Amino acid sequence: KKIISVLRAEFKITTSLCSSLKRLNQQFFQLEKDQITILNLFESNKRVIVEGCAGSGKTLIATEKAHRMAEQGKNVLLLCFNIPLAEQLRNRMREIGANVDVFNFHGLCEHVVKNAGGQFKIDQNNIHLFWDETCAELLDNFIPKFEKRYDCIIVDEAQDFIEEWWVPISRLLANENDSEFYIFMDPAQNIFGRNSALPFDGFRLKLDTNYRNTLAITNWLNKVCDANIKASDKIDKGFEPVEIKVKNDAGEREQVKTTINQLIKKEKLDPNQIVLLGKHPLKNSVFKDQQNIGKFKIIETPIVNGHKNSIRYSSIYRFKGLEADCVLFTGINSEPRSDIEEDLRSILLTGGSRAKVLLYLFTRK
C-alpha cells in the first residue's frame, strides 16, 4: 500500500507527465547552441575529441557530422561499441538518406575480414580473448586486402574501446594527415573499466549540459553519482526518481509488477515506453525464473519491438547509448558480474541517465 501511494503521488497529474514526454521527444533531434558550436569547430579541426556528459547530445552531433560529410561525397565510417546502438545509428542514417557505413567495432571486424576474403570464426573456447584481442588482430591482418578507405571516421561511446583497437581503425583512414577523425566519449560512463587511451591528442571540447533527462533526474545523478552535470533550462522539472526497497528477488519481482501495472493501467503509458534494466542478462537476472509480469512477457531486447503485451529487458551494458521514457532499474544490489569489475557510481550513472522522464530504482533493504 505504501508503494502504491508513492506511485500515485508521483503521477497524480497525468497531463504533466504526458506534456513532459511529448516535449522531450520533440527535442530529441534538435541541435542546441553549444552542439552547433562544436559542429562548426569541426570545420577547421580534423582531429577532435569531444568529452560529453550523459544526455549532452554526443550521438546527435556524431550523426549530424556523419550526415554532413556524406553530403559532401565523402566516405564516412560511424563506429560505436554496442550492437543495439549501431542498429539505431544505421536506421537513423537511412531515415535522413545519408550514405554512411555504420558498425559496432566487432561488426566492422567481421565486415572487413569477410569482404577481404577471410573467414570470421568465433573462438568459443577463448571468447573474451577473441572479442578483446583476436578480433582487432584479424581486422589489422585483412585491412591490406580491404579496398575501401574512409575520408572521415567518427567514433561514439569511445570510452568502451580498448587501446589496441585504435591501430587498425586508424589504418582505415584514406589519408593519414588529411582524413578527419572525431571521437566522442564520456569517461564517467566507463562501466567496462577499460583503458581510455586514444589514438591521437587532438583538439579537445567538452559538453556539460544535459538535454535528455528531466531536471529531477539530472539532480539525482549529481547527488548520487557526483556527476557534476548541468541541467538544460529548457527541460521540465519532471518527477523525482523513486527508490523502492525490497527484501529479495521475489519481493523485487512483485514490486516491479505493481509499478508496471500502475504505469500502464492507471497512467496509460505504452509498454514500449518502458524498459527494465539490470546488471545481468535476462537469464541471470531477478526475472530468470519468472519471465512474465501479469499478462506482459519480458522480452530481452534493447530495441522497441512494437508488441503491446511485452516489456523490454536489457542489461545496462547492452543499453548504453540508448534511452527510454521510463526506466525501471532492477537488480542493483545483486551479485556482481564475474567478467566485469563493477564501479557502482558508473553503473548508477549509466543506467539512471537512460531514463528521459521516469526513473525507478529497486534496491535491497
Farthest CA pair distance, the chain? 65
Residue 215: exposure state from Cβ atoms within 10 A (0-12, 13-18, ≥19): middle
**What pLDDT score was predicted for residue 26?**
52
Sign (positive or negative) of CA dihedral 203, 104, 92, 302? negative
How far apart are alpha carbons 224 and 349 in whole angstroms?
8
Q: What is the phi-psi region of residue 65: left when phi exceeds 0, alpha when psi lies from -120 to 50, beta otherwise? A: alpha
Euclidean distance between CA atoms 17 and 10, whole angstroms: 10
Q: If pLDDT is split at 50, 70 and 90, which confidence band does 5 have?
A: very low
* Pairing outcome for strands 101-104 and 76-80: parallel
For residue 176, the model assigns a pLDDT of 87
pLDDT band at 4 (very low <50, low <70, confident <90, very high): very low
Enter the pTM of the model.
0.87
Cell for 116?
577481404
pLDDT in tens, 146-198: 999 999 999 999 999 999 999 999 999 999 889 999 999 999 999 888 887 89
The length of the chain, given as a count of residues: 365
